[in-house]
Amino acid sequence: MARTEISPFPVAARLVSAQDPPEALAQGWLELRPEAALVACVGAPLTVLWREVEAVRAEDYVLRFELTGGCAVELSRLGGRFDEAVAESLRLWRDEIAAALLIAEPTLHDAFDCRYARTDGREAAAEARLYDTRLALFPPDGLPIVVEYGDITGVMLDEESYAVAVDCGERLVLGRLGRRTGEIPALLNGRVGALHGAVQATVARIAPSVGALRVRELSRAFAAGESLPKAAMPDLAPALYAALNASLGEESNGPAYLEALREVSGGGLRLGVRPSSEQAFVSDKAVATELTADEEGQAAATIWALAPLGEGDHVTAAAFEVLTEADRATYVFRISPEAADEDLRHMERALLRIQYRREPVALKDSEAAGSQYALAISRIPELQWLRERLIGRVAHTSVEAWTKKLRELGG
* Domains parsed from the chain with CATH numbers: 9-92 (2.30.29.30), 110-190 (2.30.29.30), 225-410 (no CATH)
The CB-based long-range contact list for 293-301 (8 Å cut-off, 24+ gap) reads: 298/201, 298/202, 298/205, 299/198, 299/201, 299/202, 299/275, 300/275, 300/276, 301/202, 301/205, 301/206, 301/247, 301/273, 301/274, 301/275, 301/276, 301/277
CB atoms within 10 A of CB 132: 19
Residue 201's region, left for phi above 0, alpha for psi from -120 to 50, else beta, is alpha
CA 298, CA 133: separation in Å to the nearest integer? Answer: 18
Residues facing residue 12 across a β-bridge? 27, 76
Q: Rounded to two decimals, what is the model's pTM?
A: 0.89
CA 395, CA 330: separation in Å to the nearest integer? Answer: 7
CB atoms within 10 A of CB 410: 23
CA 335, CA 333: separation in Å to the nearest integer? Answer: 6
Q: Taking a C-beta distance cutoff of 8 angstroms, is the pair 331, 396 a contact?
A: no
**Res 267: pLDDT:** 87
**Res 142: pLDDT:** 85
Tens of pLDDT, residue by residue, the chain (411 residues): 456 678 999 999 998 987 777 777 789 999 999 999 999 986 668 899 999 999 999 999 999 999 988 899 999 999 999 999 999 999 999 999 999 999 999 999 999 999 999 988 889 999 999 999 999 999 988 899 999 999 999 999 998 889 999 999 999 999 999 999 999 999 999 999 999 999 999 999 999 999 999 999 999 999 999 999 999 999 999 999 999 999 987 656 788 999 999 999 988 999 999 987 434 333 343 333 333 444 344 447 889 999 999 987 889 999 999 988 876 799 999 999 999 999 999 999 999 999 999 899 999 999 998 899 999 999 999 999 999 999 999 998 899 999 999 999 987
Q: Which amino acid is at 261?
A: L
CA dist list (Å): 403 to 50, 63, 274, 410: 45, 58, 25, 10
CA dist list (Å): 190 to 115, 128, 195, 307: 21, 15, 9, 34
Residue 59 CA, distance from chain mean position? 31
